[in-house]
């Protein structure tokens, strides 16, 4: 009788284990088939090249996830204004955003360093847009900087996925500016701490939404604007501000993709890897696109439609002095900013 009971118990256990395995197998298969539908909005208008190329990011995520990740792409302000994309992503109105750290410098000071304080990403090597971008991304990912960014952005309820580069910083002006005297009193449209920088240079740093820069320049509301090469090849700002100010800027302008933290943590590991891979694909795509866009600018320079205006040596020296002071001021805002500036300074010593 005891043996019979033991046999029946063993059979019962086997039946339960078999049923459980079927259930687990069903859940695993279900997870492998689940489609994750997401919305990403750029902080930039549709005329911006990097915004347009987000369709490539979405396509790469779809391919790498075998169709499990479907991303709808929106431009500013189709769901929310560009400067509200972080709040919208935290709340879940958006699943992802495409922007720059300088937009969030008020709540996440390290974002100012991520975007690049004046001369922070100025490269002394004379390399191409692509090469410079790859050097900076290597610093982000292999110096501890990316981990620091992820830790700080997590406090805002988002996950820092990866950086990309908008290529060289473009400053376009209505009139030629070649000296610090020329800068005095002029209104420079800029983001984040760059407005402080221009104030310290004797100009007037101001913020105007990028999509409104063309009109603001045409009406004389501002005298210059900062953007990337899209300012010329996508937004045609050179029509109202034909002078490209050379010197005193950055050769790489980092942007980022941020994801709602809860959505990120809920993803299976293989889909997290798919998104990381798609972000790298997007980085590579932008580099290739911006290399081609710079050739278009060279053509416009030859045609006289874009005119180069170079700062004199005395003004470039002042740029360096004012920038150095601003780096230290921004570092005082937050312990993570202190660490970030230390990392950048140590890295820059390795550049030759």
Q: Angle CA(237)–CA(316)–CA(184) in degrees, nearest 5?
A: 65
Common-topology check for domains 35-166+252-297 and 170-251+304-348: yes
User: What pLDDT, on a 0 to 100 scale, did the predictor assign at position 11?
Assistant: 47
User: What pLDDT, on a 0 to 100 scale, did the predictor assign at position 19?
Assistant: 52
Q: Angle CA(237)–CA(197)–CA(347) in degrees, nearest 5?
A: 100
Residue with tokens 């995520």: 61
User: What pLDDT, on a 0 to 100 scale, did the predictor assign at position 278?
Assistant: 98
42 DSSP assignment: E
User: What pLDDT, on a 0 to 100 scale, did the predictor assign at position 12?
Assistant: 56
Cα distance between residue 79 and residue 98, in whole Å:
13
End-to-end Cα, the chain, rounded Å? 85
The domain made up of 170-251+304-348 has a fold known as D-Maltodextrin-Binding Protein; domain 2 (3.40.190)
223: phi then psi, degrees, rounded to nearest 5: -105, -30
Residue 33 structure tokens: 């088939």
- Strand, coil or helix: what is 277? helix
Half-sphere exposure of 1 (CA within 13 A, CB side): 0
Q: Per-residue pLDDT tens, the chain, 352 aa: give them.
A: 555 455 555 545 454 555 555 444 444 555 568 999 999 999 999 999 999 999 999 999 999 999 999 999 999 999 999 999 999 999 999 999 999 999 999 999 999 999 999 999 999 877 899 999 999 999 999 999 999 999 999 999 999 999 999 999 999 999 999 999 999 999 999 999 999 999 999 999 999 988 899 999 999 999 999 999 999 999 999 999 999 999 999 999 999 999 999 999 999 999 999 999 999 999 999 999 999 999 999 999 999 999 999 999 999 999 999 999 999 999 999 999 999 999 999 999 999 7
Cα distance between residue 8 and residue 229, in whole Å:
76
Cα distance between residue 172 and residue 102, in whole Å:
19
The packing angle between helices 335-348 and 313-331, to 10°, is 140
CATH number 1.10.357.10 is the correct assignment for the domain at 35-166+252-297: no
Helices (H), the chain: 2-33, 49-52, 54-64, 85-91, 110-115, 129-142, 145-154, 180-183, 194-200, 213-218, 230-233, 261-266, 269-303, 313-331, 335-348
Domain boundary assignment for the chain:
35-166+252-297, 170-251+304-348
User: What pLDDT, on a 0 to 100 scale, did the predictor assign at position 4?
Assistant: 47
Please, are residues 245 and 224 in contact by the beta-carbon 8 Å criterion?
A: yes
What would you report as the CA-atom Rg of the chain, rounded to the nearest whole angstrom? 25
This prediction's pTM: 0.87
Residue 350 structure tokens: 């390795």
User: What pLDDT, on a 0 to 100 scale, did the predictor assign at position 158?
Assistant: 98
């Amino acid at each position: 009788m005891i043996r019979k009971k033991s046999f029946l118990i063993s059979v019962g256990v086997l039946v339960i284990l078999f049923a459980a395995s079927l259930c687990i197998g069903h859940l695993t298969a279900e997870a492998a088939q689940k489609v994750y539908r997401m919305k990403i909005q750029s902080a930039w208008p549709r005329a911006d090249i990097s915004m347009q190329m987000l369709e490539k990011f979405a396509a790469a995520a779809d391919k790498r996830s075998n169709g499990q990740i479907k991303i709808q792409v929106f431009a500013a302000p189709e769901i929310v204004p560009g400067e509200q994309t972080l709040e919208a992503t935290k709340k879940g109105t958006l699943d992802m955003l495409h922007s720059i750290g300088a937009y969030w410098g008020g709540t996440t000071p390290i974002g100012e360093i991520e975007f690049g304080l004046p001369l922070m990403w100025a490269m002394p090597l004379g390399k191409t847009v692509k090469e410079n971008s790859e050097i900076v991304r290597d610093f982000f990912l292999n110096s501890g900087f990316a981990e620091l960014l992820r830790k700080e952005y997590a406090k805002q309820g988002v996950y820092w996925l990866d950086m990309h580069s908008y290529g060289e910083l473009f400053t376009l002006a209505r009139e030629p500016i070649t000296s610090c005297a020329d800068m005095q009193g002029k209104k420079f449209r800029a983001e984040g701490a760059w407005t402080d920088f221009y104030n310290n240079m004797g100009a007037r740093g101001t913020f105007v939404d990028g999509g409104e820069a063309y009109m603001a320049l045409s009406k004389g509301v501002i005298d210059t604007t900062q953007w990337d090469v899209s300012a010329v090849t996508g937004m045609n700002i050179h029509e109202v501000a034909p002078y490209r100010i050379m010197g005193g800027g950055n050769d790489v302008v980092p942007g980022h993709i941020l994801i709602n933290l809860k959505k990120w943590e809920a993803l299976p590991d293989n889909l997290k890897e798919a998104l990381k891979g798609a972000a790298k694909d997007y980085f590579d795509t932008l580099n290739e696109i911006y290399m081609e866009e710079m050739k278009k600018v060279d053509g416009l320079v030859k045609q006289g439609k874009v005119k180069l205006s170079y700062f004199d040596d005395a003004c470039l020296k002042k740029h360096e002095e004012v920038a150095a002071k601003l780096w230290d001021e921004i570092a005082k805002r937050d312990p993570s900013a202190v660490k970030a500036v230390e990392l950048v300074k140590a890295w820059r010593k390795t550049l030759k």
